[in-house]
Amino acid sequence: MQSSRVFANIEVAPKMPVIVIMGVSGSGKSVVGRALSVRLNVPFCEGDNLHPAANIAKMKMGNPLDDVDRAPWLARVASWIKDHPGGGVVTCSALRRRYRDRLREDQLVLPSMVLLDPPPAVVKWRLDGREAHFMPASLLYSQLRTLELPSADEEVLVLAGTKPPELLVDQIDVWFSAQMKKH
């Protein structure tokens, strides 16, 4: 991580960005995000918990969210990022560039972003085996159609998301350490 700097005999520690773990439902965001937050010893936020009740009800009924539905949720995720200038890990599908841009908007410290992008068959298998989650497997294809892969200028780490969570956390940790040294 970055070293502290001393200005007028006052040590100023660098700000650590929040890491956003992104991907479609079932990509492994929550499992990897929780493990990464433990590794980095920073707060964790399950982005699904920030959805308004109307969004959860809509998805439970098998209806995909649209941009209007996502707006208050993305605002809540962006607010959580802003409220954690000392670092943290938050999950958020952030499927489109404009959603990722919304999360970066007005941040004192830009979040680092990691996309978990396993093959659709793997995600479908995971969703079919999941219990007690509001997101039905039937919405997977809507999410895959919505997904816009990050462009090079976004500096997003993209991982296939098929390795065991601890290996994904290792990869993210190495990448994040390199990112911190660059900035």
pLDDT tens digits, residue range 57-100?
888 888 888 899 999 999 999 999 999 989 999 999 999 999 99
Condensed to tens digits (0 to 9), the pLDDT of residues 126-176 reads 878 766 666 666 677 888 888 999 999 999 999 998 899 999 999 999 999
CATH number for the domain harbouring residue 103: 3.40.50.300
User: Domain for residue 63, yes or no?
Assistant: yes
Do 50 and 77 touch, CB atoms closer than 8 A?
Answer: yes
C-alpha span between 113 and 111 (Å, rounded): 6
110 is a domain residue:
yes
pLDDT of 5 higher than 80:
no
Q: Sign of dihedral through CA atoms 82, 144, 130, 58?
A: positive
Q: Are 129 and 68 in contact (CB under 8 A)?
A: no
User: Quick check: is 8 in a domain?
Assistant: no
For residue 67, what are the contacts with CB-CB under 8 A and spacing of at least 6?
none
Q: Looking at the domain assignment, is residue 117 inside a domain?
A: yes
Which residues, 6 or more positions from 92, have their beta carbon under 8 angstroms from its beta carbon?
20, 21, 22, 29, 47, 74, 77, 99, 103
Name the one residue in this structure whose structure tokens are 């990050």.
150
The model carries a pTM of 0.87
Residue 53 lies in a domain: yes
4, part of any domain:
no
Give the domain extent around 173: 14-182
Q: Are 142 and 11 in contact (CB under 8 A)?
A: no
Look at the chain and report how many structural domains it folds into. Answer: 1
